[in-house]
Structure 1
Amino acid sequence: MYNNLQELTQHIVFQYFAEISAIPRGSGNEQAISDYLVRFAQERDLEVIQDTALNVIIKKAATVGYESAPIIIIQGHMDMVCEKNKGTVHDFDKDPLQLRIVGDMLYATDTTLGADNGIAVAYALALLDSTDIPHPALEVVITTEEETTMNGAIAVDASHFTGKIFINLDSEEDGKLLVSSAGGVHVTQVLPIVWTNASHEQVAYHLQIKGLKGGHSGISIDKGRANSTKLLGRLLHDLSTEIPYSIQQITGGLKSNAIPREAQAVIFISQNDVNKVNEKIAQWELIFKNELQLADPDVSISLEQKDSHSTAVLSEETKHKAITALLLIPHGIQAMSMGIEGLVESSTNLGVVTTTDTTIQFENEIRSSIKSAKANMVTQAKSLADMVGCEVLIDADYPEWPYNPESQVKKLFEETYREKYGKDIDVIAVHAGIECGVFMEKIPGLDAVSLGPDMYHVHTPDEHLSIPSTINNWEYFIYTLKRMKVD
C-alpha cells in the first residue's frame, strides 16, 4: 500500500498522472494539456502531430525484435468532466487538482479526479517514455472534447495512421475487456420565453432538490438513480395545480452526459401561501425518499427566501410549457439489449436545464447501440419539441461500435489474460460512448478493444481510482504488447 503521494508517484504511471493533474483540462480547455503532450514528444525526439482540434498524435518506433509486428494504435482522451462539491473553492480553468490517497484509492479533494481519461494519458506517456518495455511500432492518439461532443475524434485525420489494431484505454473495470459500445447524440430543446412581472404581493424563493448521487449517464443509467430535473418537474407541476406561483428561473445539472444531482427554481409566491408550499414540499420529500430509498436515500428539498433585483417571471403559457417539457422529456432506460444479458440498448438523459434571458434550454444525451433506435429517439424528441413549442438543436452525433466476434485483437487479449492470471477475462459491451466507433468509421478494417482499471463514481466529486487495479491493468497491458512479437 502507498502511504502518500510522494511514494505513489515513484511509479511511472502515477508520476505522469500527477503531472497532468496539475494542468487544467476540462472539455474545451485543452490547449495547455495538448501543448504539454507536444513538448513531451519533442523532448524525446518522437514524431508528433498537433491538429487544429488540439488532438495530439505521437509515434514511436518498434523496439528491437518487434519491427515486423503489426503497428498498434493506442488511444485515449485528454479532457475531463469538471464537477465539484457545492461550496468548494476550485477554478477548473486554472487550479491544479488536489490529489489524496484514502486506503488503496486515489481521489481529488472535493472535485472530479479526471481518471476518466487521464489514466489513458498516463499509460501512454509511461509507455512512450520507456526504454525497457518491448513493443511494436506505436501510433498514440490523445483526443479532445470526448466528454462533450467527441469533436476531437471526429476531427482526426485518418491519413496519419498506418495501424489496423486499435487499443482504447477509456474503460473503467479491471478484468473486463470491452468490445462494443453505444452511439450517441446531443439534443437540445430550446423554449422561447415570454416574460411578465410577478404580482406585487409575491416574494422570491429559492426551491432546490439536492442530495442525489448522479453519475455517468451511460454507465449509471441502469442503477435507478433519480434525475433532479425530473423530480423538480413533478414538484412544480403539483404546486401549479393548487397554489398560484410564478417561475423566474429553472436550472439543473452541469453536463449532458451526467445524471443531474441538483436542480433549482426561483419561484415567486405570496407570503400567505408559504406554509402551503412548505407542506407540499414535505409531502414530496417523503414521496421521493420512499421511491428512492435504495437508489438515492439522501434526496432532500429546501425552500429559502431570497433577494431578487428583478420581478420578471415566465408568462403562464411559458411556465406551463416549461413544466410540460420537464415532465415529458424522457429520462432513463428506453430498451434493454436482447442479445447481451443485462446490457442497456437505448437510453436518454435530461442532463442540463438552463434559463437565459430569452430561452429555457433542455439538454439531452441520447444513446443506443442500434443506429435506427437512436434515430427514432431523436424523432421523438423533435415531435415533443413541436408539441411544446421548442426549437431543436442536434450536435455531437457519434457512431456506435458494433461487436465483432471474430476480432483477432480480442482473442489475443483473452489469451494473454488466461496466461497471466489463469482464468478467463470477462468480455463485455457498455452503454456509453467510446471513441472506437468514430475511429472504426474512419479506418476501414480496424480491429479494436478497450481496457482500463477500476474507477468509481466517475463524473462526480466522489470519483476515485483503485491504485492496485491501475498497476495491475498496466502490467496486463504491457504484457500483451510484449506478446505481439512476430517470430
Structure 2
Amino acid sequence: MTQLSQLSPQPLWQIFEKICSIPHPSKHEQKISAWIQQFATELGLDVKEDKVGNLIIKKPATIGMENRKGVILQAHMDMVPQKNNDKEHDFINDPIEAYVDGDWVTANGTTLGADNGIGLSASLAVLASKDIQHGPLEVLVTIDEEAGMTGAFGLEAGWLEGDILLNTDSEDEGEVYMGCAGGIDVNIELPIEWEATDTTKSAVNVSLNGLKGGHSGVDIHLGRANANKLLVRTLSLLDIDFAIANLQGGSLRNAIPREAEVTLVIDGQDKDTLVNALKDINSLFLAELSKVEPNILLSLTDAPLPEKQLAKVSQSAVINSISGCVNGVIRMSDTIDGIVETSTNLGVVLTNENAVSVKCLVRSLIDSARTNTQNMIASTFSLAGASVTFTGAYPGWEPKDDSEIKDILRETYQGMFGTLPKIMVIHAGLECGLFKDAYPHWDMVSFGPTIRFPHSPDEKVKIDTVEPFFNLLVEVLGNIPNKN
C-alpha cells in the first residue's frame, strides 16, 4: 500500500492507508475507534465517545476566525465487508489490501472502504493540519452506518455546538447532495417443515455467481441482477423432481446480492438432465441480461447427501414467495429527473432450522410510498404463512430551499473550478435525516469524491477526484460566515 501514501494530497492518503490497515467492518469498530481517539489525543484535541460509540472531536478556531459559525465535519467509521467467493479474507482481523490500479484506488478481492474512509481521512487531515483556516470545528465520526445507522439513531442533543454540518459520504465529485431517501428493513421468517431424505437419492449444490452486486441505493437503477431472485427463478424453471435441503444467498440487506447457492436432493439419473437444464437457463439469463451482467454463471457440484429436506408444501411456499417478491426500482421520481423514488432490495436469504429468513431493504423519497412497498412485500410472504416485521426505519432528508451552506458551497465550487456543481438528491440513505431529531437547526450538505461500486469487491475511488474534493472542503471552511 506504499503507493497510496505518495498520492496527493499526501496527508489524506497517508491517513487512508492507515485506516485500511485497521479492520473496521460494521459492528466491529473497536479497533478503528481506538486509533481515532489516539490520533486526536496525540494532536492535543478534545475527544469524547458517546454512549453508542460515536466520537466527537473538537478543534478550536484558527486565530481571527473565532466568530465564524461552528462547523461539524461528519463521516462514519465502519465499512461494508464484502469479498469475492474465491478470496480468503477475515474482515475482523485482516487489513484491506488497497492498491493503485491506473486512475483508481481499489482493493484485492474485497470492498475497499473508500465509503466512507476517504471522507473520514479528509476530516482527520483537517484536524491534523496547522495551515487550514477554519472557525470552531467539530468532527463527528459515527458507528454502524452501513448496518443500521445505530450511531446516527443514538446521537443525543447537547454533544455538538456547531450550526453547519458537512457530510463527506457522497460518491460523485461535482455533485452536492441536499436530500436523501428514507428506508426500512423488512424481516421475513417463513416457517418450514422437514422430511427425511431418501437414502437412494443424490445431492448437488447449484451455485449462481459472477454478478456485479453493488450498493442497493446508489446502483439499484442500473438494473443489475439479484442472485437470490435469479437462483429461485432457476428452481422454478427446472423440469425434474427435486427437494431443497438448503438455500442461501447474499449477506447484507443493503448490498445487491452477487452470489447464491442451493443444495438439491435429486434422483441420480436426473443429474445429466439438470446439468443441461442449467446450461439452457444460463443462456436464457445471458440473453436477457448480458449487457448488464455478462458473467452470470450457474454451476453444479456434487454434495454429501443431507439427512433432511424441505417438505413439498414448504418448498413451494419458499419458491413462490421469493419469486413473487418485488425487487429493484419500483418508481422513478416525478419531481427530480433521473432519481429513483422508491426501490427495494431482496438482500439476504438464509435457511435455518425452523424457517427460511429473508431480509429486504426498502428505500423511498416519499414515506407513504415506502410504506406501500413494505406492505406489498409483507402481503406476498404473509400469503405463504410467514411472519413479517419492520425495523430500523429512518427518515428521508428533505431538501432545504434556503440553505446557506448550499449557496456557499456552490459559489465556492464555481470560483475554484469555473462551473457550478449539480445540486442533487440521492436515493441512498445518508445519516443527515436522522441528525434532524437531535439537531433540528443544522444546515447540512453532503459531498465527496467519485467512488464506484461501493458495497461490492469492485469498489474503487477515482484518484484525481480526491484532491479537488479535499481542496473544496478546505476552501469552504475558510468561507464560513460569521455568527449573526
- Would you say same fold, with TM above 0.5? yes
Asked if 2 retains the 8 angstrom alpha-carbon contact of 1:74 and 1:141, the reply is yes
- 1:381 shift after superposition: 2.4
Distance 2:30 2:257 in 1: 28
1:189-218 deviation per Cα after TM superposition (whole angstroms, max 9, x unaligned): 111221112223321100011111111000
- 1:368 shift after superposition: 0.3
Distance 2:126 2:335 in 1: 37
Alignment partner of 1:305: what SS? Answer: strand
1:70-124 deviation per Cα after TM superposition (whole angstroms, max 9, x unaligned): 1011111000001111221211111111121111211111111000011111011
Asked if 2 retains the 8 angstrom alpha-carbon contact of 1:136 and 1:485, the reply is no
State the match for 2:321 in structure 1: 325
Matches within 5 A, 1:6-25: 6-8=5-7, 11-25=10-24
Asked if 1 retains the 8 angstrom alpha-carbon contact of 2:188 and 2:359, the reply is yes
Alignment partner of 2:427: what SS? Answer: strand
Distance 1:3 1:248 in 2: 47
Structure 2 residue 280 is the aligned partner of structure 1 residue 283: yes
468, 480, 483: which one pairs with 2:479?
Answer: 483
Distance 1:461 1:63 in 2: 41
Structure 2 residue 267 is the aligned partner of structure 1 residue 256: no
Alignment partner of 1:222: what SS? Answer: helix
1:212-249 deviation per Cα after TM superposition (whole angstroms, max 9, x unaligned): 1111000111101110111111111122xx32111011
Distance 1:303 1:201 in 2: 20
After superposing the two structures, state which structure 1 stretch, 153-162 or 5-14, moved more.
5-14
Alignment partner of 1:86: what SS? Answer: coil
Structure 2 residue 370 is the aligned partner of structure 1 residue 377: no
Distance 1:157 1:441 in 2: 9
State the match for 2:174 in structure 1: 175
State the match for 2:217 in structure 1: 218
State the match for 2:158 in structure 1: 159
Are residues 97 and 9 of structure 1, via their aligned partners in 2, closer, same or farther at CA, if it must alter by over 3 Å? farther
1:235-285 deviation per Cα after TM superposition (whole angstroms, max 9, x unaligned): 11122xx32111011111111111111111000000111122222212211
Distance 1:250 1:191 in 2: 13
Distance 2:220 2:365 in 1: 14
State the match for 1:145 in structure 2: 144
The letter of the residue matching 1:159 is G
- 1:15 shift after superposition: 0.8
State the match for 1:247 in structure 2: 244
The letter of the residue matching 1:274 is K
Structure 2 residue 122 is the aligned partner of structure 1 residue 126: no
State the match for 1:45 in structure 2: 44
State the match for 1:459 in structure 2: 455
Alignment partner of 1:159: what SS? Answer: coil
State the match for 2:30 in structure 1: 31
The letter of the residue matching 1:283 is D
Asked if 2 retains the 8 angstrom alpha-carbon contact of 1:173 and 1:455, the reply is yes
Distance 1:34 1:7 in 2: 25
The letter of the residue matching 2:10 is H
- 1:326 shift after superposition: 1.5
- 1:9 shift after superposition: 7.9
State the match for 1:99 in structure 2: 98
Are residues 483 and 9 of structure 1, via their aligned partners in 2, closer, same or farther at CA, if it must alter by over 3 Å? closer
Asked if 1 retains the 8 angstrom alpha-carbon contact of 2:4 and 2:14, the reply is no
State the match for 1:188 in structure 2: 187
Distance 2:481 2:397 in 1: 27
Asked if 2 retains the 8 angstrom alpha-carbon contact of 1:176 and 1:451, the reply is yes
Asked if 1 retains the 8 angstrom alpha-carbon contact of 2:26 and 2:145, the reply is yes
The letter of the residue matching 1:270 is D
- 1:6 shift after superposition: 4.5
Alignment partner of 1:433: what SS? Answer: coil
Distance 1:318 1:3 in 2: 54
Alignment partner of 2:383: what SS? Answer: helix
- 1:485 shift after superposition: 4.8
Asked if 2 retains the 8 angstrom alpha-carbon contact of 1:248 and 1:312, the reply is yes
The letter of the residue matching 1:300 is L
1:344-370 deviation per Cα after TM superposition (whole angstroms, max 9, x unaligned): 000000011111222211110100011
Aligned-CA RMSD value: 1.5
- 1:441 shift after superposition: 2.6
Asked if 2 retains the 8 angstrom alpha-carbon contact of 1:123 and 1:474, the reply is yes
- 1:4 shift after superposition: 2.5
Alignment partner of 1:219: what SS? Answer: coil
Matches within 5 A, 1:34-73: 34-73=33-72
Distance 1:108 1:330 in 2: 33
Distance 1:41 1:6 in 2: 20
1:17-75 deviation per Cα after TM superposition (whole angstroms, max 9, x unaligned): 01111111000001111111112222222121112321111111111121111101111
Alignment partner of 2:223: what SS? Answer: coil
372, 387, 391: which one pairs with 2:387?
Answer: 391
**Percent pairwise identity:** 37
Distance 1:374 1:394 in 2: 11
- 1:442 shift after superposition: 2.2
Matches within 5 A, 1:394-405: 394-405=390-401
What is the count of residue pairs matched by the alignment?
483
Distance 1:124 1:425 in 2: 21
State the match for 1:209 in structure 2: 208
The letter of the residue matching 1:79 is D
What runs of 5+ residues in structure 1 fail to find an aligned partner? none
Distance 1:111 1:43 in 2: 31
State the match for 1:266 in structure 2: 263
Structure 2 residue 402 is the aligned partner of structure 1 residue 406: yes
Distance 1:350 1:160 in 2: 37
Distance 1:413 1:307 in 2: 61
Distance 1:263 1:3 in 2: 36
The letter of the residue matching 1:480 is V
- 1:456 shift after superposition: 1.1
Distance 1:445 1:407 in 2: 11
Distance 1:243 1:3 in 2: 55
Structure 2 residue 473 is the aligned partner of structure 1 residue 474: no
Structure 2 residue 299 is the aligned partner of structure 1 residue 302: yes
Distance 2:219 2:111 in 1: 16
- 1:461 shift after superposition: 1.0
Distance 1:123 1:199 in 2: 60
Distance 2:69 2:371 in 1: 37
